[in-house]
Amino acid sequence: MSFEQNEAALMRAVNAWNAGDVDSYLDLYDERLKLHAGTYEFPDKNSVAEMYRGFFAATTDLVLTIDEAFGDSDKLCARYTVTARHTGDLMGIPPTGAEISIIGITIMHFENGRVLERWDIDDSAEQFAKLRGDAGH
């Protein structure tokens, strides 16, 4: 598939995310998905789904913005921003009501229009430290 087709699949997923439809967002991913997210490894689509469902349950006003995307054939790189309000338990952090903004870059490898493998780096650890009230943040 072309970069343009994969970018269109990504934008459909972004629209689903912003509509609060995590299941439709997850359609972006192949069942054999492997997600490498900093120090976290998600070995399959089910573990990724569990992580995203937890994030959706712990936040409101979730917005995903693709700030820039580029790639070639089966590879797509995107710079993104996720904003939300922390309203539920998030990775053991009780609700704070605080707004969070996570910025990151992801590299996706597509096969037949779905993401088969993804590498992600973002500043979520810093954002979660702020929510916990950790010193230095």
- Would you report the helix, strand and coil content of the chain in percent, each value rounded to 5? 30, 45, 25
Q: List the one residue out of 42, 17, 8 whose CA is nearest residue 102.
A: 17
Phi, psi (rounded to 5 degrees) for 74: -95, 10
Residue 104: both structure tokens together = 């990151």
Structural domains for the chain:
3-132 (3.10.450.50)
| For the chain, counts of helices (H) and of strands (E) | 4, 6
Written as tens digits, the pLDDT of the chain (137 aa) is: 799 999 999 999 999 999 999 999 999 999 999 999 988 899 999 999 999 999 999 999 999 999 999 999 999 999 999 999 999 999 899 999 999 999 999 999 999 999 999 999 999 999 999 999 874 44
Q: Can you give the pLDDT at residue 43?
A: 96
What length does the chain have? Answer: 137
**Could you report the per-residue pLDDT of 34-74, keeping only the tens digit for each?**
999 988 899 999 999 999 999 999 999 999 999 999 999 99
Q: Can you give the pLDDT at residue 39?
A: 86
Q: What is the pTM of this model?
A: 0.91
* Residue 12: other Cβ atoms inside 10 A: 14
